[in-house]
Amino acid sequence: MLEKFPLLEAEYIDTGQVKYVAYPFNLGRPEMALATEAAWCAQDQGKFFEYQHALFENQGMIAYDQASLINLALETGLDGAEFTQCLSSRKHQADVENARQAAANRGVNSTPTFFVNNQRVTGNQLYDVFQRVIEQELVLAQ
């Protein structure tokens, strides 16, 4: 998805045709719970997407323990003290669980999963797939 996002952003989000909302959640993998909370902590500093991209780029290369997540936050340009406080306090633990429950209620059982209005797009689809679904929804919205 990372390679398609700039295209979608330029064509639909930046032009105001589409509102992009991300809900970071954990599908119940214990090793990812803290990383998901870390993404919420990054959002507190307005750097969710930067941190999310860094997590994906470093997938399999870092441990998802507190020290590694903090180091990644520093590399991403986040305020280390604020991020550490947020992650240590487990400030977003309930948010992560609520997002997991909401995803489960919508039948989400894999990532990535996208909803364009109520049309589900599952998996890392081609740009053309996203474009077709978005265009269909834009026509319906008129």
**pTM for the model:** 0.79
What pLDDT does residue 2 have? 62
For residue 97, which of 51, 46, 16, 30 has the smallest C-alpha distance?
30
Mean pLDDT of 74-81: 97
- Is the model's pLDDT at 118 over the cut of 70? yes
How far is residue 142's CA from residue 139's CA, in Å, rounded to a whole number?
6
Domain boundaries, the chain: 5-141
Backbone angles phi, psi at 19, to 5 degrees: -105, 125
pLDDT in tens, 19-46: 988 877 777 677 788 999 999 999 999 9
Instruction: Select from 3.40.30.10, 2.40.50.100, 1.10.10.10, 3.10.180.10 the CATH code of 5-141.
Output: 3.40.30.10
| Secondary structure, 3-state, the chain | CCCCHHHHHHHHHCCCCCCCCCCCCCCCCHHHHHHHHHHHHHHHCCCHHHHHHHHHHCCCCCCCCHHHHHHHHHHCCCCHHHHHHHHHHCCCHHHHHHHHHHHHHCCCCCCCEEEECCEEEECCCCHHHHHHHHHHHHHHHC
